[in-house]
Structure 1
Amino acid sequence: MAVITELSSTLEIREFSQHLQVDEKHSPRKVPRFCSIRYGIAFAAHLFNFVLAAQSVILNITMVAMVNSTDHQSLLNNSTEVLPIGSPDGPGKAPTSIPAKAPVYDWSPQTQGIVFSSINYGVLLTMAPGGYVAGRVGARKVAGVALLGSSLLTLCIPLAANLGLVYLIVARIVQGLTQGSGFGGHFGLWQKWAPPPERSRLCSISLSGIILGMFSVILLGGIISQALGWPFVFYVFGGLGCVYSLLWFVLVYDDPVSHPWISISEKEYILSTLNQQDSSKKQSLPIKAMLRSLPIWSICLCSFSHQWLINTLVIYIPTYISYVYKVNIRDNGLLSSLPFIVAWIIGLLGGHVTDFLLTKNFRLVTVRKTVTMLGQLPASAFLVALPYLNSSYITTLTFLTISCGLGSFCQSGIYINALDIAPRYSSFLLGATRGFAHTSSVLVPIISGFLLNQNPDLGWRNIFFLLFAINILGLIFYFIFGEADVQDWAKERKLTHL
């Protein structure tokens, strides 16, 4: 009996020693980072978001080349979503810059608003289901199929426009369905690939692709439209998406266990940090608990308020520059793209700043709220000041750039908070909270278009003041009810059967 006890003690000591060695060996400091597979997955997701975001805003940019350009001022005041390069140019400039072979349609501003908003309804319907399905069958399949579907539909948009307005609207709605499932589905990657010490960096790398996609379309859309015709903007980014959707299935895997090229040390490190967060497929979603959760609602409302800021910037930066300074199409694209490239850079750096603060023993909830505040309060304040400082285009562009750049900090704050409070259901919650926030993409152009239609000068002030008020309210609610601890309803539930 004594021999057995001694042997048992020896085995426990040996196992404990091996456990310590494994922990030390696979600690974050010992595992390569930027050359690791998990960062490769993050950059693959970055390109995924780049392509989807670019495809989602192409029509906003090409609309000026697609419609009759005889009444630009009316377009500016009444259209709900006149994006980047549609500016009121001098007499004769816009028509001569559009190739004669490109079709032109006689669509009223109200019709344009319907076309613009049609894609958003599809996105709203599928973002949360896309996250849920990805958690069940894998993010690789859901996101890859969604990207391929969106890319094929992007290629078909010029044909749909030629067939008629109804065909175009239906194509946009279906494209929105694919894009929503793609944006929501790719969140499932981080449930299996993002160790908590590196979660902010990995997610910020991924989400920054959205900003880069917008920047690229804003910068290149006008150039391509002028040189080749507006249909080629769809062909270029649609073709790029088709190619990358095939690469996605080669480069991306749902988890470290199934990845064929990952090293043993990196695999064990990731699994050891996430071993308490795996979702049990036998357990259904605790919908009632989620609906009663104030931390979830704080994420939803704060994300909604920040998306109101982002959508205002995306939709109205070029329009505001055109309205105030009357620049031509090419210059508008160049000026409007600058804030987004700065936002892309800050978005990448924001994740590193967030994880650095966590290494200095700051509480996770404090870090999440701090970077969220940096992404909302100063950004909205700079926009409020714009109408009073529009005498210099340098000042205006500086304020727009700072506002857009600081807004990227929220990628490491509010947008990944669901991973902290409910890692087991994060794939669904990330899609659901992002889907809730995306409702602002429908409301912003409707409300802002109404305000601009009443009085353009006063309308811009009202747009920015409304934005500031919404951001402050969302931030206050998040500061009061936001949390970063795993919620009781999100912990493992033991299943007992008699």
Structure 2
Amino acid sequence: MCCLGLITLYALRVNMSVAIVCMVNHTAVGLMDVNTTADEPNNKDSSTCDGQLTPENSTTDTEDGPFAWSKEEQGFILSGYFWGYIVTQIPGGWLSTRFGGKRVFGWFMLVGIIANLLIPVAAQQGFYYLMALRIIIGLSQGVGFPAVQTVLAHWTIPAEVSILCSFAMAGAQAGNVITFPIAGLLCQYGFNGGWPSIFYVLGACGFIWFLAWMILIHDSPEQHPRISEKEKKYITSCLSGKISNNQMKRSIPWLSILTSKAVWAIIIAHSLSNWGTDVFITMIPTYMKDVLKFNIKNNGVLSALPYIGLWVCMLLASNLADFVRKRNLLSPTVTRKVFNTTGEIIPAGLMIGTGFMGCNQSTYAVALLTLGVTMTGFQNGGGFLVNFNDIAPQYAGIIFGISNTLATIPGIIAPTVVDAITPHGTQAEWQIVFYITAGIYVGGAIIYLLMGSGEIQKWAVSKKENIELYVVNTTNTLNYSSEKTKL
């Protein structure tokens, strides 16, 4: 259900990225651009591809939408979500730690679902009404990841942290995979004019998820009415010394959290990685249209390809990371650093290569883009994204809230920056976007290598729990050594 919750969250988050392509009157906006740049050289190559558009890629069959939003206004609409999203990250982590992730995630998401259903009406009323709803959706969904981390912390045993956390977090990528093609098809063939059906269909699916979440999910094994006693004892014994259910009585070590090198390694890696994620979540459909000349139907399907790869890679990488840890092939810290570095350096190189592909090499461009985004699954499945429960499972929700607050800043500025860099949508302009993204990925990899950790931090457990944790870790080590001797 955590996975389905993040699928729903991302469906409501990225549906505007595709919908806006068919909501905008591109002819009117193009005339506005011509009028405002009459004295400037026109470098736009969106209408030609070496003088000829291929029939299967032609965008001429795409009808203009009803709204003449400028490039700047489109950037504000896409980034407006993140203006709200950034505000509720830390409060979401604190509320989830105090009162449980189930209720916090469920009720806040319901607000976002209702706001999403109202978007077609708000868009017709005016730009500022739409912006207000986008901000409300962001506010409601900002608690999502911290709440999910809190729920997972009470259910995930250390030996399965990578697998279970990655499976849940992969819901975000599955949300992209599902939403892009569905939104593309609804844009062309949906009811009520096409684009409004995107928000109605996905909003209805979100409401169904909300009902299932509130009925089926429980904050901890102790609160679950249908779990077997054997499974309950197994989970609680594995988490002994690492997490406590006495949330209300426990003070939060804010100073230790904010001065921890391991925490800041995650925050910086998370923030720099999110630049690439947010650029591609919000801008891939526009890139497909501007440079590769795909129509909206192809746009939606092909925009999903990178996230299909990322989803699969996250699951494979998480299994591999836990395999490495269970076999003691690498220490937890080295495991996290190896996976995180792989998931940032390789994509950086592939993104640079993508920038050299024009519409005549659209197949290669899609292949490189898909492979680049796919490889980021190593950092999500075995790197920084599953590191919260390593270093401080008791405070995973709060730390994720802090980290995701700062990591949301790229989501706010990325659409505006990309629009500023690509006013004409040319290949050369998009190359600059890819170069910047590649450089940011490399920087994140280097910082995490220097500062990251995979070990639980001393401040994350009380003195009593430190003794319990020592006993558990010592027992695990002795058991492992005994098994190794038998072999």
* TM score, norm. by length of structure 1: 0.83
Larger deviation, residues 438-447 vs 255-264: 438-447
Between 231-240 and 435-444, the greater mean CA deviation after superposition: 435-444
Q: Which amino acid aligns with 2:8?
A: V
Identity of aligned residues (%): 30
Kindly name which structure, 1 or 2, has the bigger radius of gyration based on alpha carbons.
1
Structure 1 contact 67–105 (Cα < 8 Å) conserved: yes
Report deviation, 1:199.
Answer: 0.9
Out of 440, 453, 456, the residue aligned to residue 486 of structure 1 is 456
Greater shift after overlay, 386-395 or 284-293? Answer: 386-395
| Equivalence for 1:34 | none
Letter in 2 for 1:478: Y
Whether 2:196 is the aligned partner of 1:231: answer yes
Gap change, CA 1:492 and 1:166, over 3 Å in 2: same
Aligned to 2:393: 423
| Structure 2 counterpart SS, 1:325 | coil
Q: Deviations over 1:170-202 (max 9, x none)?
A: 111111110101232222111100000011111
Alpha-carbon distance between aligned partners in 2 of 1:56 and 1:303, rounded to the nearest angstrom? 19
Helix, strand or coil: the match of 2:238?
A: helix
Q: Matched residue pairs, number?
A: 438
Matched, 1:382 2:350: yes
Q: C-alpha separation between the residues in 2 aligned to 1:76 and 1:384?
A: 28
Structure 2 residue 280 is matched with structure 1 residue 313: yes
Give the AA of the match of 1:379: P
Which runs of structure 2 are paired with 1:112-261 in the superposition (5 Å)? 112-227=74-189, 228=191, 229-261=194-226
Q: Distance in 1 between matches of 2:32 and 2:145?
A: 31
Q: Matched residue of 1:93: which SS?
A: coil
Partner of 2:333: 365
Distance 1:363 1:308 in 2: 29
Counterpart of 2:482 in structure 1 is none
Deviations 1:237-260 (A, max 9, x none): 101111110110111110011111
| Residue 284 (structure 1) aligned to one of 236, 251, 274 | 251
Instruction: Report the CA distance shift for 1:394/1:357 in structure 2 as closer, same or farther (over 3 A).
Output: same
Which of 459, 467, 485 is equivalent to 2:429? 459
Alignment pair present for 1:396 and 2:396: no
Confirm or deny: 8 A CA contact 2:21 2:296 kept in the other structure.
no
Structure 1 residues 111, 317: CA separation in 2 closer, same or farther (over 3 Å shift)?
closer
Aligned partners of 2:388 and 2:399 also within 8 Å: yes
Contact 2:221/2:232 (CA < 8 Å) preserved in 1? yes
- How far residue 221 of structure 1 moved from its aligned partner, in angstroms, is 0.7
Q: Which amino acid aligns with 1:351?
A: S
Contact 1:147–1:242 (8 Å) recurs in 2: no
Contact 2:79 2:413 in 1 (8 A): no
Deviation at residue 491 of structure 1 after TM alignment: 2.1
Shift of 1:455: 8.1
- The 3-state SS of whatever aligns with 2:291 is helix
Match status 1:56 vs 2:25: no
In the alignment, the residues of structure 2 paired with residue 427 and residue 312 of structure 1 have an alpha-carbon distance, to the nearest angstrom, of 25
Residues of 1 paired with 2:335 and 2:392: CA distance?
17
Q: Which residue of the partner structure matches residue 15 of structure 1?
A: none
State TM-score, norm by structure 2.
0.85
Partner Cα separation in structure 2 for residue 73 and residue 410 of structure 1: 39
Instruction: Name which of 329, 333, 341 aligns with 2:300.
Output: 333
Q: Within 5 A, what are the aligned runs for 1:296-311?
A: 296-311=263-278
| Partner of residue 234, structure 2 | 269
Q: Secondary structure at the match of 2:242?
A: coil
Output the amino acid matched with 1:49: L
Determine the C-alpha separation between the residues in 1 that align with 2:139 and 2:395. Answer: 22
* 3-state SS in 2 of match to 1:283: coil
Q: Quick one: which of 445, 469, 472 aligns to 2:415?
A: 445
8 Å contact kept, 2:59–2:295: no
For 1:302, give the aligned amino acid: A
1:27 is aligned to: none
Q: Establish whether residue 409 from structure 1 lines up as the match of residue 378 from structure 2.
A: yes
Deviations 1:290-329 (A, max 9, x none): 2221211111111111111212222333333323332222
CA distance in 2, matches of 1:139, 1:55: 20
After superposition, the CA RMSD in angstroms is: 2.3
| 3-state SS of 1:327 partner | coil
Provide the rounded CA distance (Å) in 2 between the counterparts of 1:182 and 1:76: 38
- Compared CA separation, residues 295 and 91, structure 1 to 2 (3 A): closer
* Counterpart-to-counterpart distance in 2, 1:455 and 1:329: 16
CA distance in 2, matches of 1:76, 1:312: 23
**CA deviation string 1:372-392 (max 9, x = no partner):** 112111011100112234452
Distance 2:397 2:102 in 1: 13
User: What is the identity, as a one-letter code, of the residue corresponding to 2:377?
Assistant: S
Structure 2 counterpart SS, 1:464: helix
Structure 1 residue 473: Cα displacement: 1.4
In terms of mean alpha carbon deviation, does 397-406 or 321-330 score higher?
321-330
Cα offset for 1:120? 0.4
Q: Distance between the aligned counterparts of 2:208 and 2:357, measured in 1?
A: 45
User: Relative to 1, partners in 2 of residues 1:196 and 1:440: Cα closer, same or farther, differing over 3 Å?
Assistant: same
Q: For 1:52 and 1:479, how far apart are their aligned partners in 2?
A: 31
- 1:22 equivalent in structure 2: none
C-alpha separation in 2, matches of 1:426 and 1:91: 46
Give the drift of 1:234: 0.4
Q: Give the Cα separation in 1 of the matches to 2:32 and 2:378.
A: 33
**Distance in 2 between the 1:164 and 1:324 partners?**
30
Could you tell me which residue of structure 1 aligns to residue 475 of structure 2? none
The one-character-per-residue Cα deviations of 1:181-228 (angstroms, maximum 9, x if unpaired) are 123222211110000001111111111111111121211112112112
| CA–CA distance in structure 1, aligned partners of residues 73 and 20 of structure 2 | 11
In 2: Cα distance, 1:111 partner to 1:465 partner? 25
Letter in 1 for 2:215: V
| Alignment partner of 1:468 is 2:438 | yes
Q: 1:453 is paired with a residue of what secondary structure?
A: coil
Please say if residues 203 and 411 of structure 1, whose CA atoms lie closer than 8 Å, have aligned partners that are also in contact: no
- 2-side partners of 1:164 and 1:272: how far apart? 56
**Residue 232 of structure 1: how far off its partner (Å):** 0.8
Q: For residues 76 and 348 of structure 1, what CA distance do their matches in structure 2 show? A: 44
Aligned equivalents of 1:240, 1:248: Cα separation in 2 = 12
Secondary structure of 1:254's aligned partner: coil
